[in-house]
Chains A and B, each alone.
Chain A
Amino acid sequence: MNSDFHYYATYCAAQLAGYSHEDSQSIAYSAQMVDFCTRTLLSTLKAPLSAATTQLQLELMDARTDIAGLQDITRIWASFHFLPYDLNALPPKRCCKRYRDKYRLICKPNGELLSATVSLAKDKSLQAVGVAMHVLADTWAHQNFAGTPSLVINNTNSWFYELLEDGNGFTERKLNFRHSASSPDDLEHSLYTSSLYSNSENSIMNLGHGRAGHLPDYSFIRYEYLPAWGQYEVIVKDNPSDYLHAFAQMVYAMRWLRGETDDFALDAYAWDAVEPYRDEIERIIKTRQLDASADWKALGERLSGQTIESFRLEKYQEEYLNAVEEEKDDTFLGRLFIAALAQKSMVTGRIYQSGSKLAGYSVDYRQKGFKGIRDFKRLIRSSRGGKRQ
């Protein structure tokens, strides 16, 4: 998903969930920041590097693919962009543990970890809500790929067809890929950019949906393809339907986070809130365009009657830089970093408890006290305070 959905659509969803204009902007800003919070940015802010929620292309190219490097990559991408669906899943055929561990990181919506992610944001900051909404939305867009470098899971071949509505159903059109990162996708000629084929299992070329290019990030497209793990079964990816579900689920989740409903259930959606705007939302989602920001922004401004600020990366940086050390965690970005550390800690902990070390080692603080990366002391401090951030 791109900024159109993570920023503007999240704002719209927050509005429909009942948040004020200001709170909706904070949630949308935080959701969008998940795609910008790199180590490069954190080092500029002298912030905890473990709060990184994404990696720049060159950071990835520079990353080591030894055990520790791979675990670091997996922690970031599995925690924030490819939330695993079922950590106890069994592949259809008998296989080795290494394959099974990777298979279990495949992302899909409505997994148990999604419930844990949304619950983690309950009674926490608006930034935590934003982070959770990013993760939730990505479980729909990025499904069927895993947040760890893996050829056997994330590879795709050239068998890709777009499904175009023709009145009576769908016609197929072949999709083609090129590997020039600087070239924009060409919708007219169905020419998309994807990562290079690499036969190395742990190459960063095989991370997430890199091999399928940005197809999962476009709301309008329907396509069919053969995922590497799928035993030659064709998967039809219906992004318009998935994006609509993601939107309705975000509204549902945020209603629960606001305390409007008693329980958070999986596979539940706030269709009642979406219904009055469904035609407009479906129109935005189905329009063939690389960036739907203007359409979502117009809808958001209609919902709130307020002007939505454009996303500015540097908006809260000065506040963080100028804050004294003890007060940094109470700034806007400080709260975002705490939310990121909490999400990473939770997902890594769950993956480790499932018997997989792909995301690294996790030390249970209640049982063993503090052991590990020092950045997480902030998280301990924050949870000890127990205050609403």
Chain B
Amino acid sequence: MSRFQRVKSFTAGILMILFALLMLLAPEEFYDTLAAIISFMMIIYGLRLLIYYFRMARHMVGGKSTLYQAIVVLDAALFTLAVASMNSFIIMMYLLGIYAFSGAVDILRAFEAKRNGASWKMKFLTGCISVLFAVMLVITGVVLKKTEILVYGFGISLIYSATVRIASAFRRTAIVYIQ
């Protein structure tokens, strides 16, 4: 990573943690903000797809499909921004995807590491916690209709991403070249 990328990664990590802490301290006030954030994230994703098409995918066989995807995503994002009630479902799906998938991968990785004789317990534990969290989200969000849990879920995943960003900003990444 270049120095600029390291600074960017570190700063983004700190900002993400601060924002997540604010969310966790006042989840009720932040629910609407979170809903807006998710919609804006979708808009940004749609715009990124559009830029990706014009810079990269137009050179690719079948690249036009990226253009169509960008248009559909942008349309969906604007629609969800307008219909606030849709957002809790989208947030739920988003968080479920993150926790269930990363949990399943962690557990499978732990089994694989165990088969190969490497350390596996920590990976297994984090996998179980992620899956448990996904189950909790379903129960409290879908069954009990308590939306604060979504804010907590989003906040925790934000802190995790921020920590990884900060850690990677300090990681040695250069390869030594010997001629």
Contacts and interface: CB of A to CB of B under 8 A. Distances in A.
A362 B59 contact: no
Nearest to B177: A349
B143 interface: no
A144 to B, nearest CB: 12
B175 A362 contact: yes
Interface in B94-127: 105-106, 108-109, 112-113, 116-119
Given A66-B168, A99-B55, A370 B176 contact: yes
B178 interface: yes
Interface in A299-339: none
A201 B56 contact: yes
Interface string A47-87: 00010000010110110101110010001000000000000
User: Considering the complex of A and B, which 8 residue pairs feature the smallest CB-CB distances, nearest first?
Assistant: A349-B177, A372-B174, A376-B176, A361-B174, A348-B175, A152-B60, A362-B177, A228-B60
B66 A199 contact: yes
A359 B1 CA distance: 10
Interface residues of A, number: 60
Contacts of A348: 175, 177
A373 B172 contact: yes
A40 interface: yes
B173 interface: yes
B5 interface: yes
A348 B165 CA distance: 23
A342 B177 CA distance: 8
13 contacts: A40-B116, A58-B105, A96-B56, A99-B55, A155-B60, A232-B61, A348-B177, A359-B175, A361-B173, A362-B177, A372-B172, A373-B172, A376-B175
A157 interface: yes
Interface of B: 1-2, 5, 9, 49, 52, 55-57, 59-63, 65-66, 69, 105-106, 108-109, 112-113, 116-119, 164-165, 168, 171-179
A385 B177 CA distance: 17
Given A40-B113, A199-B69, A374-B172, A345 B178 contact: yes
A227 B119 CA distance: 40
Interface of A: 40-41, 43-44, 50, 56, 58-59, 61-62, 64, 66-68, 71, 75, 91, 93, 95-96, 98-99, 151-152, 155, 157, 199, 201, 226-232, 342, 344-346, 348-349, 352, 357, 359-366, 370-374, 376, 379-380, 383
Contacts of A362: 174-177
Given A64-B168, A359-B175, A363-B177, 4 more contacts: A68-B173, A348-B177, A349-B175, A371-B174
Nearest to A50: B175
Contacts of B105: 58, 61-62
B103 to A, nearest CB: 12
Contact of A98 (B49, B56, B118, B174): B56
Contact of B55 (A62, A98, A366): A98
A199 B72 CA distance: 14
Given A59-B109, A226-B61, A365 B177 contact: yes
A58 B109 contact: yes
A234 to B, nearest CB: 10
B175 A361 contact: yes
B177 A364 contact: yes
A44 B112 CA distance: 12
A51 B9 CA distance: 26
Max count, chain B CB within 10 A of own CB: residue among A67, A345, A349, A370:
A67
Contacts of A64: 164, 168
Contacts of A352: 175, 177
Contact of A230 (B9, B61, B63, B69): B61
Max count, chain A CB within 10 A of own CB: residue among B113, B119, B173, B174:
B174
A93 B55 CA distance: 12
A184 to B, nearest CB: 20
A155 B59 CA distance: 12
A141 to B, nearest CB: 22
A68 B176 contact: no
Nearest to B105: A61
A372 B59 contact: no
B58 to A, nearest CB: 9
Given A66-B168, A99-B56, A58 B176 contact: no
Contact of A68 (B59, B61, B113, B171): B171
A152 B56 contact: yes
Given A75-B175, A360-B173, A372-B175, A229 B113 contact: no
A34 B5 CA distance: 32
Contacts of B9: 66
A360 B175 contact: yes
